[in-house]
Structure 1
Amino acid sequence: MTMKPALYRILAASALVAAPSFAFAFAQPSQQTVTSPDGKLAVTVAQAKDGGVTYRIARAGKPVLRDSALGLSFDGADFTKRLSAQEVSAERSISEQYELVSGKRRHVTYAANERTWRYLNNEKQPLEITFRVSNDGVAFRYTARAPELKFAGEATSFAFPAGARAWLQPMSVAKTGFARTNPSYEEHYRVDIPVGTAAPMGAGWVFPALFRTGDTYVALTEANLDGTFHASRLAAQSPGGVYRIAGPAAQETFTDGALLPTAQGQLTTPWRVLAIGSLATVVDSTLGTDLAMPSREGIPDWVKPGQSSWSWAILKDDFTTFGTQKQFIDYAADMGWEYTLIDAYWDQKIGYDKVRELVEYARPKNVGILVWYNSAGAWNDTDMTPRGKLLTSADRRAEFAKLRTMGVKGIKVDFFGGDGQSMIDYYVGILRDAYDAQLLVNFHGATLPRGWSRTWPNLVTAEAVRGFEFGTFDQKDQDPVAGHAAMLPFTRNLFDPMDFTPMVFGDIPKIRRATRNGFELAESVLFVSGIQHFAEVPQGMAGVPDYVKDFLRALPARWDDSRFIAGEPGKFAVIARQAGGKWYVAGFNGAAQERNVTLDLSFIGNAGKPNAGRPVIGKSILGKLITDGATERAFAQSDLKASRKTSIRLKARGGFVAVFE
C-alpha cells in the first residue's frame, strides 16, 4: 500500500509528540495530581507494588474510577511493571479554539490542564504518560521510546465502582454477517446493564461506551487516529467492573497489511478519552474532537454541509437508474436540499457518461451529486460496484480526478474491513486523497470516526451505526428501532457525525413502521450529520402537510450551538440546537408508553441577540410546535411557549420539533 501521509505525520510529531518540559523529580512510589480548570475533576497518578503505574479519577471528591492500570507492552520492551519513576512536568494550561462543519457546535473552545509523567523500564527505555483534564473530562496518551517498537498490548483499564451501570454496543465478530463485512459497529445496544457484564459476542464493546456511577456519567472513546495506530475497543470480559483496552481481531487488516503498529525510535498512541459529569455535561461535550489533530488548512470553502435525497433507502438497487435519479434531483431541488446520492451499481446501471449528464442537469437546480464506492479488496465477498478502484493512492487519485472533471461533489465509501492499523491507514489515505481532489466523504460499513471530522473537514458523515436501512430488511429490526434511536444521542452521535439516514413518513415495503411521524421528524434535528441523507421518497413527502415540508426546506445544514435539555439513554431525548438566530428544540420517546416532560427552555429568551442563550427572567418566547397527530401517520401544529416549565406530551414512539425565533 502506498499511503503514507508524510506531511500530516510530520505535523503530528511536531505539534503533539514534543517532549514536555519537566519541573521536578519524585521518588517511587510517589503520586501527583492534575485537576480541571474549575477544580472539580482530579486525576491522581501513582505506582503499584509491582512497579506498574495506576491512575484514579474523582469528581467533586467522589470516586469516578478506582485505581486503574496504565502501561504498554512491545516485543522486547515492557512498560507495564517494574517501572522506575523519573519526573513529572509542571501543570500547564491548554487552550484551543477551532471550527467544525459536522458537529453539534460550530465554534469550539477547549481548555484543560496537562501534566506528563516519565518512567524508565528495566532496559532504561522511557515511557511518558500525558494527562489532560478539562471541566468535562479526562484524556491521556502514551509515548514510548526505544530503537524498535513492535506493539504487543495495552494495560490500560477503567475500574468502575461497585454498582455502576453501563450502556454498551457489542463489537461484532470479524468476517461474519452479510458477505463477511463485519465489524461495522452495527449492533443493538445493551441498555442499563451492570458493569462487568460480558460482551455477548465475545469480541468486546465498541466506543463510545457509556457508564454511570452515582450521579456521574462517563463516556469512553478515543481520538486522533492518524493511520499509524490501530483502532481499539473494550475487552469482552470486565470482571469486577474493570474494563480493559483491547485491539482488533487478527482478520481486521488491509490485504497483506499490518494489524498492529510498529515504529522506530518513538510511538505515540491515540488519546484515551473520558467525558465525565452530569448527563448534560457529557451530551454537550466535544472531547471527541477536542483531542483530534487540527485540520491542515482550516475549513475550505468547497466543504459545504447540507441535506440530501437518496433513492436506495426505500427503493433499493432496482431504482439506481438514470430516470429515477433524475426524479430525486428534482425532489431535492423542490425541498431546497443541496445533494442527491446515487448508490451502488451506478457505474453499471447508469454509467460515467450518464452520471455526468445528471451532474449537468442538477447544477442549475443547485443540487450536487454524490456517488457510492465499494472500498473492498479481498477482505469480504461483496460484489457491488464500483469496486477495487480505491485500493492504492494512485488508483484513488486517478478516479477522483475523473469525478472532479465530471463535477461530482463527493463519495460514499462502503464495506471496510475492520480496525487494524493498515485498515485505519486506508481510511486516512482515502480522506487525504479526497481532500486533495476537493471531494466530500461519507464512510459506510465503517469504523467510528474518532474525531476525523476535525482533522479532515471533508469527512462530513459516517455510518458506524445500525441505521435506518436495517429496519427495511426485516420486521425484527424495525420493532426495536425507537429505543435504539433513543440511545444514539448519548453514544454513537455523541462526538462524531452519524449517517443514520433518518426520516420516513410513508410506508416501508413489506414492513410495518414502528415509529410515529413526530418521532421521524425529530430525528432531523436530534441526529447530527454534515450531510443528512433523508430516506423518505417523493411519494411519501407528498402526503405530509405543507408546514412539515416548509420546516424541512428551512432546516439548517450546520449548527451553531447545541444544548441538552432532558433525557435518559435508550428511553427519550430532548435537545435544542441553534442556527441563524433560531433555536430548534426536538425530542423523541423510544418507549411504548406516553411520557409527559417538563422542559426548562428559558435560555431561549433572547435567541439571536448578543446575549443569546442566557436566561431571561419573566420573558416567554412563542414558537411553532410540530408533533404527532391523532393517528400514527398524522401531524399536528400549534404554538409553544418557551419558559422555565414548558410542558410537552410525548406519545409512545412519538416526537416533536419546535422552532423559536
Structure 2
Amino acid sequence: MTLLQLMPGCLSQSSLLRRGLVLVVALATLCWSDARAEVLSSPNGQVKCQLTTTPQLSAALSLNDQQVAEAAGIGLRIDGVDLGEQPKVLAISPVKEVNETYRRFGAHSTATNHYNEYVVQVQSQDGQKWSLEFRLFDDAVAYRLKVDREGASHIDGDFADWQFPVDATIWQQGAGNRSYEGEYLGFSVGGLETGSRLMIPTTMVLADGSYAMITEANLVHYSDMVIEVSGEGKFRQVFHDDSNGWEHTGDIVTPWRVVVMTDNLNQLVNSDVVSNLCPPPNEALQNAEWIKPGRCCWHWLVTFHPRLEDQEAWIDGTSELGWEYYLIDDGWRNWNGGDEAAWQALADLVKYAEQRDVQLWAWVDSKYVFTHQQREAYFAKARSIGLVGLKIDFPHPANREWVDWYDATLADAAQAHLMINFHGALKPTGRERTWPNELTREAIRGRKQGKLPASHDTALPFVRYVQGPADYTPTVLAADKLNGSTVAHELAMAVVYTSPLLCMGDSPAHYLESDAADLLKAIPSTWDETIVLPGSQVGSLAAFARRKGDDWFIGVLNAKAGEFEIDTRFLGDKQYQLVELRDTEGENAKFDRRDGKIAGGQRLSLRLSADGGYVAWLRPVED
C-alpha cells in the first residue's frame, strides 16, 4: 500500500505529485489518524523503514526492497511505565536531508554523513509525550527515543524485539562473553540458544549475500546494551550492567539503535554511520595540532613488565624505524623504588626520547584517574614531564556511571592536551568523533591473548573494526610465537586492522632485521582510501587495498590454503614499483620477498598458506 492510498480525502493524488516528497510527509503529519503505516527512506531510496502503530509501534527495515529485519514494540520504560504501550502517533516532521563531510582517522580520511531525518511525535497511554527520531542512511537505519523530563527518573531501558532471518549466519563473540574480548565465531541465527546474550556489534551474512550489523552509537548518559536471544531469529535489548535500571535526572535521550545494511563488504567496511551519529568536536579539538596519529612500539609481548635498563634501547629502535611513539606499560611505577623516583625515571626517558624524535605514552590503572580531581592532578603531572598520551586500563563494567566516566576522562584529557588509549574497555560507539584525542581502544581479542584462530582474524575487519578503531597490537614476527601463523599473515594485520595509534606487538630488533623492514617503516597508521577486494569473505579471507597519498598497500589475511588472484584495476593506468611479502610454503617464519614493477590492471596470482597472508607496497614510478 502506498502513502497516497493511506491518506484518502487529504489531497488529490495529482496535487501531491506536483508538490513533492516534503509535502507528502507533511500531509502524513496532518492525516496520521487515517493512516496505519509510513514509509521512510534513505537519500538514494535503497534503504527503507516502514513504521506502523497497530497493534504496537514497529519498524520494518529493508534493503533494495528486501526486508532485512523488523523491530516491534519500540518503547522506553520510565518509573515503571512503558511509553511504547498502545502509543498514539501525533505527527511526523517533514523530511530533513543532511549531507556533510568531516575529517576522520581510519579507513579513509574524509567521512560522509548523508541521511534523511524524520522525527515522530508520540503520546503514550498515560499521556506522556515523547519523540522517536529516525536517520536513514544509504547503508543503515538508526533511531533513538527522546523524552522531555524534569527532575529524577528511574530508567529500566528502551526496548524492542528484533526479528532477523533464521537462515542468516551471525558473527559474534560467543554467548556468555562479557568482556568485549571474545573470539568471533559464526553461528546460524536460527540455531542460537534462547536466553543467550550476545555482545554487539554482530554482523549477519544473509542468504542473498547481503549483510546486516546490529550495534549502537553515541552511548552517553545511558547503560551499555547487549542483545538477548528471545526466540528463533529474535533478539531483545538488555542492559546487563544495570539489570535493575538506573537513576537519571532531566531529559532522557537514548543512544542510537543501529542496523547497518549493505549488499557488499566494501560498503560495510567503509561505513561511517557509527561516528556520524555522534556530535562533532568543539572548535578547539576540531584540528588540534597536538592530536597526532602514529605508529608505536610496545614492549609487553616481548618483556612483559618494563625493565628500566632496557628502555633506551627500545626508544632507539623506535627511532630507527621512524615511528612516532613508544608506549611504556604496567610496571614503570615500581622503577627505582616507586613514587617520585619512578616519575623522575619516566621524565628522564621522555627527554631521552625527544632527542631521538620519539614521544612517549605511559600506562595507568583507571583507579588512579576515576574522579575528576584525580584526573586533573594525574594528567597535569603526566603533561609536566612531557608524556603525550596515556593508556588507561581496567575500567569497570559499563553501567551508567562508568559509561559517563569515558566521556569525562576524555574531556579532562583534552584539557591537558593528552591522547588516550582505553584498554579492558567498553566497545567504541563513535564518540571518538566528539573526542578525537581518543586514538584507539581495545574491546577486542587481540594478539595479547596469543595466537588466535584465522577465522577470528578474518572476521574482525567486517564486525569489530566497522564499529571503530581497535588496539589489536598486531604483527609478531618471532618464530616461537607464530603457532601456526605465517609472518606474512602477521604483517598483513598492520594493513588490514585500523588503529590511529598503531601499536605493534614485537620488538624493533625483530622488525629491523626482517625482510619487511622497509615496508614496516612505511606503513601508516591512518588511510586516505580503502577498497575491500573481491573474494573477501567474513571468517575466511580479508583482502584490502589501502591508499595513503600516492602509495598503495595491499593486505590479505586468510584461513585456508588456496589460490587467490588480485585485480589491480584500482591502480588506474600508472606504473608502480612493487614490493611483495608472500608466504613461503612450509616455512611459516620466512617471507618470500619479491621486488619488481607492475602496471595498473595487471593481476597478481597468489598461493596462500593455511593461516597465511600477503602484503604488497606499491609506489608510483617516477617519470
Q: Does 1:134 align with 2:122?
A: no
Evaluate the alpha carbon distance shift between residue 573 and residue 345 of structure 1 in structure 2; reply closer, same or farther with a 3 A threshold: same
Does the CA-based 8 Å contact 2:391-2:423 persist in structure 1? yes
Q: Deviations over 1:65-117 (max 9, x none)?
A: 1453311111143212111121111111012211123x211111111111111
Evaluate the alpha carbon distance shift between residue 171 and residue 305 of structure 1 in structure 2; reply closer, same or farther with a 3 A threshold: farther
Q: Residue in 2 aligned with 1:408?
A: 387
Secondary structure, aligned partner of 1:404: helix
Equivalent runs, 1:182-193 vs 2, <5 Å: 183-193=178-188
Tell me which amino acid in the other structure corresponds to 1:125. Q
- CA distance, structure 2, for counterparts of residue 596 and residue 437 of structure 1: 51
- CA distance, structure 2, for counterparts of residue 324 and residue 225 of structure 1: 41
Q: 1:576 aligns with which of 545, 553, 556?
A: 545
Q: Does 1:594 align with 2:561?
A: yes
- CA distance, structure 2, for counterparts of residue 366 and residue 481 of structure 1: 37
Tell me which amino acid in the other structure corresponds to 1:627. R
Q: Does 1:216 align with 2:210?
A: yes
Q: Residue in 2 aligned with 1:16?
A: none
Alpha-carbon shift at residue 438 of structure 1 (Å):
0.6
Alpha-carbon shift at residue 453 of structure 1 (Å):
1.5
Q: Does 1:289 align with 2:295?
A: no
Secondary structure, aligned partner of 2:533: strand
Q: Residue in 1 aligned with 2:252?
A: 267
Secondary structure, aligned partner of 1:627: strand
Equivalent runs, 1:388-399 vs 2, <5 Å: 388-399=367-378
Equivalent runs, 1:53-202 vs 2, <5 Å: 53-66=57-70, 68-101=72-105, 103-147=106-150, 148-170=152-174, 172=176, 183-195=178-190, 197-198=192-193
Q: Residue in 2 aligned with 1:365?
A: 356
Tell me which amino acid in the other structure corresponds to 2:93. S
Q: Residue in 2 aligned with 1:632?
A: 588
Q: 1:308 aligns with which of 296, 306, 320?
A: 296
Alpha-carbon shift at residue 282 of structure 1 (Å):
1.2
Does the CA-based 8 Å contact 1:66-1:161 persist in structure 2? no
- CA distance, structure 2, for counterparts of residue 469 and residue 294 of structure 1: 32
Q: Residue in 2 aligned with 1:560?
A: 528
Does the CA-based 8 Å contact 1:588-1:650 persist in structure 2? no
Does the CA-based 8 Å contact 1:196-1:239 persist in structure 2? no
Secondary structure, aligned partner of 2:198: coil
**TM-score, normalising length from structure 2?**
0.89
Q: Residue in 2 aligned with 1:659?
A: 617
Alpha-carbon shift at residue 23 of structure 1 (Å):
4.8
State the identity as a percent: 28
Alpha-carbon shift at residue 195 of structure 1 (Å):
3.8
Secondary structure, aligned partner of 2:112: strand
Number of equivalent positions: 580
Does the CA-based 8 Å contact 1:248-1:418 persist in structure 2? no
Q: 2:417 aligns with which of 431, 434, 438?
A: 438
Q: Deviations over 1:180-213 (max 9, x none)?
A: xxx42111122143345038xx662112110122
Q: 1:243 aligns with which of 202, 222, 235?
A: 235
**TM-score, normalising length from structure 1?**
0.84
Secondary structure, aligned partner of 1:221: strand
- CA distance, structure 2, for counterparts of residue 507 and residue 626 of structure 1: 16
Q: Residue in 1 aligned with 2:517?
A: 549
Evaluate the alpha carbon distance shift between residue 23 and residue 57 of structure 1 in structure 2; reply closer, same or farther with a 3 A threshold: same
Alpha-carbon shift at residue 499 of structure 1 (Å):
0.2
Q: 1:230 aligns with which of 194, 204, 223?
A: 223
- CA distance, structure 2, for counterparts of residue 77 and residue 300 of structure 1: 45
Alpha-carbon shift at residue 409 of structure 1 (Å):
0.8
Q: 2:436 aligns with which of 444, 448, 457?
A: 457
Does the CA-based 8 Å contact 1:311-1:325 persist in structure 2? no
Does the CA-based 8 Å contact 1:127-1:144 persist in structure 2? yes
Tell me which amino acid in the other structure corresponds to 1:197. L
Tell me which amino acid in the other structure corresponds to 2:203. L
Q: Residue in 1 aligned with 2:200?
A: 207
Does the CA-based 8 Å contact 1:210-1:220 persist in structure 2? yes
- CA distance, structure 2, for counterparts of residue 157 and residue 455 of structure 1: 30
- CA distance, structure 2, for counterparts of residue 542 and residue 69 of structure 1: 58
Q: 2:346 aligns with which of 343, 352, 355?
A: 355
- CA distance, structure 2, for counterparts of residue 313 and residue 539 of structure 1: 14
- CA distance, structure 2, for counterparts of residue 321 and residue 206 of structure 1: 37
Which structure 1 segments of 5+ residues have no match?
1-19, 174-182, 252-257, 376-387, 472-477, 606-615
Secondary structure, aligned partner of 1:427: helix
Secondary structure, aligned partner of 1:73: strand
Q: 2:471 aligns with which of 499, 507, 520?
A: 499
Tell me which amino acid in the other structure corresponds to 1:31. A
Evaluate the alpha carbon distance shift between residue 647 and residue 68 of structure 1 in structure 2; reply closer, same or farther with a 3 A threshold: farther
Q: Residue in 2 aligned with 1:490?
A: 462
- What is the root-mean-square deviation in Å for CA atoms of aligned residues? 2.2
- CA distance, structure 1, for counterparts of residue 395 and residue 37 of structure 2: 43
Which structure 2 segments of 5+ residues have no match?
1-24, 337-341
Q: Residue in 2 aligned with 1:9?
A: none
Secondary structure, aligned partner of 1:128: strand
Q: Does 1:481 align with 2:436?
A: no
Does the CA-based 8 Å contact 2:498-2:525 persist in structure 1? no
Q: Deviations over 1:232-278 (max 9, x none)?
A: 1112x231211121112348xxxxxx9635132x2111111221112
Q: Deviations over 1:334-385 (max 9, x none)?
A: 101111111112111251001000000000211111000111xxxxxxxxxx
Q: Does 1:276 align with 2:261?
A: yes
Q: Deviations over 1:22-62 (max 9, x none)?
A: 9534016621111111111111100132xx20000111111
- CA distance, structure 1, for counterparts of residue 505 and residue 533 of structure 2: 27
Q: Deviations over 1:384-428 (max 9, x none)?
A: xxxx32121111111111111100010001111112110011111
- CA distance, structure 1, for counterparts of residue 103 and residue 511 of structure 2: 34
Q: Residue in 2 aligned with 1:254?
A: none
Does the CA-based 8 Å contact 1:28-1:85 persist in structure 2? no
Q: Deviations over 1:586-624 (max 9, x none)?
A: 1111x2x3122233331221xxxxxxxxxx5xx775633
Q: Residue in 2 aligned with 1:335?
A: 321
Secondary structure, aligned partner of 1:238: strand
Q: Deviations over 1:413-460 (max 9, x none)?
A: 111111211001111111111111011100000111111221111110
- CA distance, structure 2, for counterparts of residue 345 and residue 603 of structure 1: 47
Does the CA-based 8 Å contact 2:115-2:137 persist in structure 1? yes
